[in-house]
Amino acid sequence: MLFLDKSMEEVSIKFLGTGNAVPTKLRNHTAILVTIGNENILVDCGEGTQRQFRYANLSPTKITKLLVTHWHGDHILGIPGLLQTLAMSEYSKTLHIYGPKGTNYFMNLMSELFKDFKLNLKVEEITSTAKSFGQLQIESEEMLHDAATNAYAIILKDRVHLDKKKLKKYKLPNSPILKELQNGRNIVFNGKTIKASSITYREKGKKIAIILDTGMTPNAIQIANNADVLICEATFSKEEEAQAKEYRHLTAEQAATIAKKAKVKKLILTHISQRYEHNTKIIEKEAKKIFKNTSVVKDLDEIKV
């Protein structure tokens, strides 16, 4: 079970790579690190991700889970090198790897090609699934692309807290009865019924949605629904909408439309084409016309939620 303390109230997102199929001097291939307490969840691992960890002064050995959106090269070519580094660093944890259909096949293929992983890997294919790890939940939805593709939501569930002042008022001991109250069950103490609702309060959880390569699909709105932050690809501008449709990618305007319909709080655009390397204001402006709280992210940027 994932242990939660006060540090869990903050979610950190580090953008290790924000480019698309062709990297540039300023943008590496896609990789996003989401940190929640002791969990370090890497979403995609493009070529060069290991060096990005170094530039960010982070250790890849802290990774606990790898979420693969799809098996296109710019999203996965960093995986073999990363796994070799973990093996040489005597990584002792179980690395959980989740991805769309075909993930088992590709991981087995990698294992055949690179025989020195020597790691405890747990690989699972997921689609339209919710996986719970204590207070952490990972949800996936199938996207519309020319390969099997997932989008993900990383969720810190709501937490129920006990009101310390009321505990003191009722002189309740530190015993299993507190767990009963926290689980929403009323108790009887010293002959009096104490309602859980009168002594507890709920802390709202947090939700990070990550949508990378996809065309427009209702599933994108579903996975992003009510997210605190939506990280979304914006490979094309409005002028290139026909190309976006052909290659099953999103324009900045479409990303903003998803954000608006899903009622998210903040939209971050990533997977930036080299065409906008020196003028990201073009796609940012297009998105802001529809969804004001939009920004374009850069490599090694970090946000707290």
Q: Which of 5, 44, 74, 299 is catalytic?
A: 74
Query: How many Å apart are CA 63 and CA 37, to the nearest integer?
Result: 12
Q: Is 14 strand, coil or helix?
A: strand
Residue 228 φ then ψ, to 5° = -70, -40
Query: Does residue 213 have an active-site annotation?
Result: no
The radius of gyration of the chain from alpha carbons, rounded to an integer in Å, stands at: 21
- For helices 281-288 and 252-262, the axis angle rounded to 10 degrees is 30
Q: How many CB atoms lie within 10 A of CB 236?
A: 27
Catalytic residues: 74
